Amino acid sequence: MLFAQYPVVRERITNLPNFDKRTVHYGYFLGVNQYDFKFEYIPTYYKELMYKDVAVEQNKGFLVGLLGDLRINEYLNLRFEPGLFYNRRFLQFPEYSEFTRASDLRREIKSTYIHLPLLLKISTKRINNFRPFIVGGFSTDFNLSSNQKNSDDNASNVFRLTTQTYNYELGLGFEFYLYYFKFSPSLRGIFSIQNEMIPDNDVASPWTGKISNLFSRGVGLIITFE
């Protein structure tokens, strides 16, 4: 006697089925970052930029923080993600005639940011235990290493930045619903919208006299646990 063969259908387990129905929930995040600078020069200097641009040596830093999430509806969430961001960059200046020492060509910039973003997360419909999302919003940074109030400047090997800056942020990521928690890797871009440079005391300084505006640009790989 022959029996029909039917495929075995395994039921897919849905993890944390009611997680996204909570009005408020919390979590934490950690990750790595990398920061650059965008320069804007005084108009009379632009013609020399072909060979006299300031170069930025980027390094990887770290970030860590907490998050609070407010559910607006099935697809929209408002998030507050206070964190600590650390990074280090080096500025390599061209060999201006004003420089007399090899150390004049290079400046180290350490940045320790208290990062305070308010973000809107837009998610797609959940697909089993997976859900893509995009995120965007605005943030402010308090740079604990800014040297804004320092009377010394580049003549004393000190490159000064403003203490507080404002940014806009854009990112995308994916949520994975595990048995006990939600795991979300995302890629985030952070772009300053105000000049961060504090000019040197000498208006004709070779370090800051040719630069009109200086903006930070960063990218972060963020791992969130909720």
Domain that holds residue 136: 25-162
Q: Are 15 and 129 in contact (CB under 8 A)?
A: yes
CB atoms < 10 A from the CB of 190, how many? 23
Q: Residues 6 or more apart from 191 whose CB is under 8 A from it? A: 167, 168, 169, 170, 215, 216, 217, 218
119 part of a folded domain: yes
Rounded CA-CA distance 88/110 in Å is 4
18 part of a folded domain: no
Average pLDDT of the chain, as a whole number: 91
Q: What is the pLDDT of residue 14?
A: 87
131 part of a folded domain: yes
The predicted-structure confidence for 68-105, as pLDDT tens digits, reads as follows 999 999 999 999 999 999 999 999 998 888 888 888 99
114 part of a folded domain: yes
Q: Mean pLDDT, to the nearest integer, of 104-122?
A: 96
57 part of a folded domain: yes
* Torsions phi, psi for 160 (to 5 deg): -100, 140
Q: Mean pLDDT, to the nearest integer, of 132-146?
A: 96
Band the pLDDT of 1: cuts 50, 70, 90.
Answer: very low
Q: Mean pLDDT, to the nearest integer, of 137-155?
A: 92
154 part of a folded domain: yes
Q: Residues 6 or more apart from 197 whose CB is under 8 A from it? A: 160, 161, 162, 208, 211, 213, 214
The predicted-structure confidence for 194-205, as pLDDT tens digits, reads as follows 999 999 999 989
Nearest to 92 by CA among 106, 80, 103: 106
Q: Mean pLDDT, to the nearest integer, of 35-53?
A: 76
Q: Mean pLDDT, to the nearest integer, of 189-213?
A: 93
pLDDT above 70 covers a percentage of the chain that reads 92
148 part of a folded domain: yes
Domain tally, the chain: 1
178 part of a folded domain: no
Which pTM was predicted?
A: 0.88
